Structure 1
Amino acid sequence: MLPTLARVLGSQDRLAVLHAAAPDMAQPDSDFDALARLAAGIFGAPIAHVTLVGQDWQWFKAAVGTPETRMRVEESFCAHTIAQGGREVFLVHDASRHPVFRHWRKVAEAPSLRFYAGVPIVLDGQAIGTVCVLDVVAHSDVPAKQLEELRRIAEIAAVLFKIKEEAHTRSLKEAALLRQEQRLAMALQAANVGSWLWDIRAGTVAGDGAMTRMFGLPPERSLRAKAVFSSIHPDDRAATFSKLRKAMAADEEYDGMFRIRSSGRWLLGRGRVHDRDGKGVPLTFLGMSIDVSEQQEAVQRTRLLLKELNHRVKNTLAMLQSLARQTLRQTSDPAEFMMAFAGRLQAISEAHGLLSDHEWGTIRLSELISKQLRPYVSDYAEQVELHKDEILLGPDQAVGLGLVLHELATNAVKYGALSVPKGKIVLTARSVVEEGSAVLHLTWTEVGGPPVQEPRRRGFGSLLIERSLDKIIGSSVKVEYMSAGVTALIHLPLYSAARP
């Protein structure tokens, strides 16, 4: 293969657009058949293709006049069409007289190809394939109108590929949102935490299933605010309203406890105004509730544990509120917000569940890794390779690291090693002594996935990976976007893990 041709076909930018637009490129697609027939009819040619051109192979998404579905790029006219650059027609009037093509097998032997005309299919500035026609007789004179029609067919093919790419992306997002919603339901059931968004002007509250169950209300996405507030026990209602009004007026956090009228159960509520209009009038209020009935009923035990419980609950709710506000900024739809928020809540819930099982002492790193990664792999033993020392984590380390692992896994499922069946995650965890203190060095490496490019824009997930360990002095997370796969280097002091 000519050096220039190999360089163009092997361009990582081009291949990235190609794989994004047509992950099923090897499969013919009948949606393109009409375009191939149209091109053949315009030129009166027996052969026409709608193709995709990879680094080594050319695939026919639609074909007229041939049963083949692919061919090597070494004898592909379309590879030269792409290599020429731009959007112009590549013409070969008589291949038997062409210095490059006359010795090709399909030119010198049957079917004795002579004429070729092809136009690149361009998406996002990259030529990913062609619309082309071939004939076994030479065409010495090709009307400009025919060439223009071929260009238009290529443009239609590009639009169709884009529509299919967007539809595929939407289906993946919908599937991911559905999985997140399912994880949210499981997380809220395990953690017994309810989330809600109060639209003050509309007088409605969008709550998740855990919230509606706690308040004894129908399992509906949107409820009247009056119905929600009426479910609070009459003896606690005035104090709750007073605290809410004070928090909204002073732009402070609401923090209070109240009973539910129908069940008598105690809830701990926390929240604050999410946004205001130009005059400072509150528009939406974001809140969360946790059922603390058992603690209230077991007064003696609660007195021993309440200080630690409040500390953990407030820290967790504060973290959840921050996550929720950042997630909410990405969508104005309350229902979509509830689904998008699920994965991050699940990650925190898993860490809390492990800590709770160990009475908020220490947990093993391997248990945390297993809890966070199993939902994202079909075969944990095959897709997660762990090399580790025996390392114990305290509450702060476990919650922060759990959130980092969740975000890395989510990105790997969307874009990295876990987006393909053969991809895997390799984790190496070592406990080393630095300046007399134990430190965890954890390396996350993705292998076997698609080529990786550093994102042009850093989203909230990237910031979350970097900042989830901020409260632990001396910690850091560095993410490197290597072409072979994402690598994350985590530095985490372990000095507080042994604290009671």
Structure 2
Amino acid sequence: MKDNVQPLPSDVAAVLGAPDRLAALDAALPVFLGPDPDFDDIAALAAGLFSVPISLVTILGRTDQWFLARQGTPEIRAPSEDSFCARMIAGGEPLVITDAREDGRSAGLPSVTGEPHLRFYAGAPIVIGGQAVGTVCAFDVKPHSPVTSDLLPRLKQLASLAASLILLKDEARRRALAAEALSREEKRHALALDAANVASWLWDISTGIVSGNETFYRMLGVQPAKPMSARRFFTAVHPADRKTTIGRLREALASGKEYDGLFRTAKSGRWLLGRGRVHEWDADGRPSVFLGINVDVTDGQLASERTRLLLRELNHRVKNTLAMLQSLARQTLRQTSDPVEFMDAFAGRLQSLSEAHGLLSDHEWGVIHLKMLLQKQIMPYAIDYEKQVEIHKDEVELGPDQAVGLGLVLHELATNARKYGSLSVRSGKVVITARVLNEEGQRVLNMTWHEVGGPLVDPKGRRGFGSVLIERSLDKILGSSVHVEYLPKGVTAVIRMPL
């Protein structure tokens, strides 16, 4: 049957494939989802208009004609090239064929030469945006007499009604898509705010009601989480910050500029950063809606305060250290006139202070463990630290003054041991014992330094500045003391220091 089909006229093919027509069709009905019951009444009216058993409301694509509504046929599509409607829209006007076998435009169509052997056709184009995108048409399997002049205008009205319905449904589809996209965006925005722990709120100035997201109520400690009066909103601000916060909000309302404020909450005392501006004005130009956000910046505020404390502590330590350095330099110079010897001695003591300061800086000028200080001060002077240094100690934490003073003591003991004592030979060893005792409610560190296995010590040897420094390094710590004994078998130092 297909072999006997007449070729598709070039003008019809051109109309079917016209880019403007296909673009209008795609814009109005981008996807065919099957027959739509909303168009059934139009198909029924078309069938009744011509008293025929078959009627269609169609959209006409390049290759397929889809049926939005149909009466008298179970089909939902047909090839565009084999349709009466493709010939009709090529002519640009409604078309009536009273006997398809006798009309050259339709005589060779498969639906005429084969089942269902159509004979009568009447169709009008559905025009959208100046382009024929579909048809309302009626068929019969027997020829008809010429139709009366009033029928085609009425068929055109049905086609116009179909076009309006397509546009209305397209507008509804677009609105639904826009609403869905807006809903998705609002959900995404809400999730993003929640994930970022950002509170958003809206103040309806005309009603005096403030509402916000869950994070907003949680930050303020307001339960249950529901809209509240502006008065209650302001009472959720810490009393110390309330006047300033209200003042800045009033200034933003009066000027239209952005509100920017930092305040604490009344319940938890957490710090919140507030930002916002007038979002809407009434007909008289007065603010009617204010939109704002809050961000919890408590951690940042605490970190900032901690930084300020650290800077004050550092300033104090720098002053103390400079005074100590001046004293060390003067005392070292008094002990030697040799520049090289002075530099060696002074550089070592300076390095000791640097090590103690480095440890304290790493721990934000809090406390450091005795084990770390021992390792820093002694390891550079031991031939084999693991074998030559034996430590028995309690868990001891040292404050800044204690760490700096004890660091100098350990440095002098270690350098002395390296030059003259047990750390000068591989067989030598330093045994350190550190215990914490409770003396009348005060925790006190009792520590001994005992050298064994080194060269014999001459108890009559010259008492140098190092010995003086050892005994005076803890002078700034009330109740502390250092006693050094130069025993023949090795130096022993006994250290007492309140913690």
Task: Tell me the TM-score normalised to structure 1 length.
Answer: 0.55
From the superposition, tell whether residues 44 and 174 of structure 1 become closer, same or farther in structure 2 (CA, over 3 Å): same
Which one of the candidate residues 68, 72, 79 is aligned to 1:61? 68
The corresponding residue for 1:273 is 278
CA contact 2:56–2:71 (8 Å) conserved in 1: yes
CA distance in 1, matches of 2:308, 2:148: 91
Aligned residues of 1:295 and 1:302 also touching (Cα < 8 A): no
Distance, in Å, in 1 between the alignment partners of 2:103 and 2:90 is: 17
Question: Which among 12, 23, 28 is matched to residue 35 of structure 2?
Answer: 28
Q: Does 1:44 align with 2:51?
A: yes
Inter-CA distance 209–38: structure 2 relative to 1 (3 Å threshold): same
Q: CA contact under 8 A between 1:59 and 1:70: conserved in structure 2? A: yes
Equivalences for 1:204-283 in 2 at 5 Å?
204-217=209-222, 223-277=228-282, 280-283=285-288
The answer to whether the 8 A contact 1:208-1:221 is kept is no
Matched ranges for 1:70-469 at <5 A: 70-85=77-92, 88-217=93-222, 223-277=228-282, 280-300=285-305
Structure 2 residue matching 1:144: 3-state secondary structure: coil
Runs of 4+ in 1 over 4 A off after TM superposition: 218-223, 277-280, 300-304
SS in 1 for 2:260: strand
Do the aligned residues in 1 keep the contact of 2:57 with 2:135 (CA within 8 Å)?
Answer: yes
Contact 1:17–1:128 (Cα < 8 Å) also in 2: yes
Could you say what secondary structure the match of 2:150 adopts? helix
Is the CA contact 1:94–1:114 (under 8 Å) kept in the aligned structure 2? yes
Once residues 129 and 180 of structure 2 are traced to their aligned partners in structure 1, the CA distance between those partners, rounded to angstroms, is: 25
Aligned residue pairs: how many?
302
Cα RMSD, aligned residues only: 2.7
**2:3 is equivalent to residue 15 of structure 1:** no
SS at match of 2:201: strand
Mind listing any 5+ residue stretches in structure 2 that lack a counterpart? 1-7, 310-499
Q: Secondary structure at the match of 1:290?
A: strand
Deviations 1:432-481 (A, max 9, x none): xxxxxxxxxxxxxxxxxxxxxxxxxxxxxxxxxxxxxxxxxxxxxxxxxx
SS in 1 for 2:206: coil
For residues 213 and 20 of structure 2, the distance between their equivalents in structure 1, rounded to whole angstroms, comes to: 42
> What letter is aligned with 2:36?
D
In the TM superposition, what is the alpha-carbon distance from 1:22 to its structure 2 partner?
Answer: 3.0
CA shift, 1:51, in A, is 0.6
Identity of aligned residues (%): 50
Change beyond 3 A, Cα 1:91–1:225: farther
Distance across 1 between alignment mates of 2:234 and 2:43: 63
Counterpart Cα distance in 2 of 1:208 and 1:55:
51
Q: What's the CA shift string for 1:58-110, capped at 9, x where partnerless?
A: 0112212222211111111112333333xx42222222222222122222333
Alignment of 1:475-490 (within 5 A): none
The one-letter code sitting in structure 2 at the alignment partner of 1:31 is D
Deviation, 1:112, is 2.4
Distance in 1 of aligned mates of 2:199 and 2:229: 17
CA distance in structure 1 between the partners assigned to 2:307 and 2:292 by the alignment: 24
1:94 aligned partner, one-letter code? D
Gaps of 5+ in 1: 305-500
The equivalent residue for 1:336 is none
Deviation at 1:267, TM superposition (A): 0.9
Kept in 1, the 8 Å contact 2:87–2:105? The answer is no
Partner of 2:473: none
**Is the deviation greater in 15-24 or in 38-47?**
15-24
Change (3 A) 1:2 1:223: farther
Equivalent position SS for 1:131: strand
**1:121 partner amino acid:** I
Cα offset, 1:221, TM superposition: 7.6
Deviations 1:264-293 (A, max 9, x none): 221101122334456543233232221112
CA distance in 2, matches of 1:182, 1:295: 29
Amino acid at match of 2:76: T
Inter-partner Cα distance in structure 2 for 1:137 and 1:223: 76
- Kindly state the Cα deviation for residue 206 of structure 1 after the two structures are TM-superposed: 4.3
Q: Larger relative CO (CA 8 A, sep 6+): 1 or 2?
A: 1
Q: Which amino acid aligns with 1:235?
A: A
SS of 1:142 mapped into structure 2: coil
Q: Label 1:301 to 1:75 Cα distance change in 2 as closer, same or farther (>3 A).
A: farther
State the 1:18 CA deviation: 2.5
Task: Answer whether contact 1:89 1:119 (CA < 8 A) is retained.
Answer: yes
CA–CA distance in structure 2, aligned partners of residues 224 and 6 of structure 1: 69
Partners of 1:190 and 1:3 lie apart in 2 by 61
Aligned with 2:122: secondary structure? strand
